[in-house]
């Protein structure tokens, strides 16, 4: 039957940084997102599972996924043992009712962790019952060469992971086509970080549709394939000069997703709330259906 496909559209707490996890829940609820992905370590509250549960209860908005603390800036969050971090991430996911943990491949200097990573991820999935969706990364570019910062590979399709995450900013930086990458991922593709990029060496995380990745084509393809994973808006709004400017980006991202993640193009459907518009003065106004 034509219409909007069934995957849930969530908002990453990283999308509101430097605002807080609490701000993300408030914005996601008010703007009409289906849930939240919590990036652990992006602010202190994100490590406090009881506090996040209170936000879930207050806003009646679920946690769809946990992003494990595997960034350079979160290397000491939840300890320094990488396997311990993943175990705690799985516990947090189960406590909060999320079914996915997003994880990056190890850094190359984490030799022991990298050596056993593929088998270890499979073991954790078996032991915890939680999906660990390994995210595509990219070579770090330096003048004249690319630095291989991740092991066993920045490209998860080169390994035997049962589940993967596709990040469009990362595919842009890696100079990959997101539609082709999704096709290669095939049935392992469980999770989307919807964003965009221009092919820059920088990991840009633009609003989808503002870059050169084929975000609209990807969404349409996934809708026609009845993709049932999560689509998470993960954009960079750090340069926003006001809350209203940040909201404009979050609204545009959500409506872009609903428009293109559909098996027809007649309308944007499935919103739990009214649509929004931006006035010439930059204010957010609600449109009555």
On whether the CB atoms of residues 248 and 278 are closer than 8 A, the answer is: yes
pLDDT in tens, 231-258: 999 999 999 999 999 999 999 999 999 9
DSSP code per residue over 227-265: --SEEEE----TT-SSHHHHHHHHHHHHHHHHHHSBSSS
Q: Which residues pair with 190 in a beta bridge?
A: none
Check residue 32 and report its DSSP letter. Answer: T
Contacts of 241 (CB under 8 A, 6+ apart): none
pLDDT at 141: 73
Dihedral pair phi/psi, residue 197, rounded to 5°: -165, 170
Dihedral pair phi/psi, residue 215, rounded to 5°: -65, -45
Strand, helix or coil for residue 27: helix
Question: Look-up: residue for tokens 């943990």?
Answer: 101
Q: Work out the burial of residue 239: count CB atoms within 10 Å of its CB; fewer than 13 is exposed, 13-18 middle, 19 or more buried.
A: exposed
- pLDDT tens, N- to C-terminus, the chain (289 residues): 334 458 999 999 999 999 999 999 999 999 999 999 999 998 999 999 999 999 999 999 999 999 999 988 898 899 999 999 999 999 999 999 999 999 999 999 999 999 999 999 999 999 999 999 999 999 987 655 667 899 999 999 999 999 999 999 999 999 999 999 999 999 999 999 999 999 999 999 999 999 999 999 999 999 999 999 999 999 999 999 999 999 999 999 999 999 999 876 443 333 344 344 444 444 444 443 3
pLDDT at 12: 98
pLDDT at 121: 98
Cα-Cα-Cα-Cα dihedral sign, residues 28, 33, 34, 40 = negative
Dihedral pair phi/psi, residue 277, rounded to 5°: -135, 160
pTM above 0.75, yes or no: yes
C-alpha neighbours within 13 Å on the C-beta side of residue 7: 29
As given in the structure block, the two tokens for residue 15 are 């999308």
Spatial separation of the C-alpha atoms in residues 84 and 228, rounded to whole Å: 29
Q: Work out the burial of residue 83: count CB atoms within 10 Å of its CB; fewer than 13 is exposed, 13-18 middle, 19 or more buried.
A: middle
On whether the CB atoms of residues 114 and 148 are closer than 8 A, the answer is: no
Instruction: For residue 195, give the nearest of 64, 12, 25 by alpha carbon.
Output: 12
Fold of 8-287: TIM Barrel (3.20.20)
Q: Work out the burial of residue 80: count CB atoms within 10 Å of its CB; fewer than 13 is exposed, 13-18 middle, 19 or more buried.
A: exposed
pLDDT at 5: 53
- Run of H or E residues at 89: helix 82-96
pLDDT in tens, 248-288: 999 999 999 999 998 764 433 333 443 444 444 444 444 43
As given in the structure block, the two tokens for residue 149 are 């910062």
Contacts of 74 (CB under 8 A, 6+ apart): 40, 41, 42
On whether the CB atoms of residues 151 and 108 are closer than 8 A, the answer is: yes
């Amino acid at each position: 039957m034509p219409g909007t496909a069934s995957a849930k559209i969530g908002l990453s707490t990283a999308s509101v940084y430097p605002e807080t996890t609490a701000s993300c829940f408030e914005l996601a609820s008010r703007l009409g997102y289906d849930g939240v992905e919590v990036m652990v370590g992006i602010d202190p509250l994100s490590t406090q599972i009881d506090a996040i549960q209170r936000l879930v209860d207050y806003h009646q908005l679920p946690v769809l996924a946990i992003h494990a603390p595997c960034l350079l800036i979160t290397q000491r969050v939840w300890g320094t043992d990488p396997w311990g971090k993943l175990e705690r991430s799985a516990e947090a996911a189960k406590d909060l009712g999320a079914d996915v943990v997003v994880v990056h491949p190890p850094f190359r200097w984490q030799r022991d962790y990298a050596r056993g990573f593929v088998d270890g991820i499979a073991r954790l999935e078996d032991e915890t019952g939680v999906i660990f969706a390994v995210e595509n990364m990219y070579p770090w570019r330096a003048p004249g060469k690319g630095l291989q910062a991740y092991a066993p590979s920045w490209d998860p399709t080169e390994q035997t992971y049962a589940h993967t995450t596709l990040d469009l900013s990362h595919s842009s930086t890696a100079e990959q086509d997101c539609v082709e990458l999704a096709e290669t991922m095939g049935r392992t593709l469980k999770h989307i970080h919807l964003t965009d990029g221009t092919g820059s060496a920088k990991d840009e995380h633009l609003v989808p549709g503002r870059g050169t990745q084929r975000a609209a084509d990807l969404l349409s393809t996934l809708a026609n394939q009845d993709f049932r994973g999560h689509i998470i808006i993960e954009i960079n709004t750090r340069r926003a000069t006001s809350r209203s400017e940040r909201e404009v980006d979050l609204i545009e991202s959500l409506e872009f997703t609903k428009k293109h993640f559909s098996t027809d193009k007649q309308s944007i459907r499935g919103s739990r709330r009214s649509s929004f518009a931006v006035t010439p003065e930059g204010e957010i106004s609600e449109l009555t259906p």
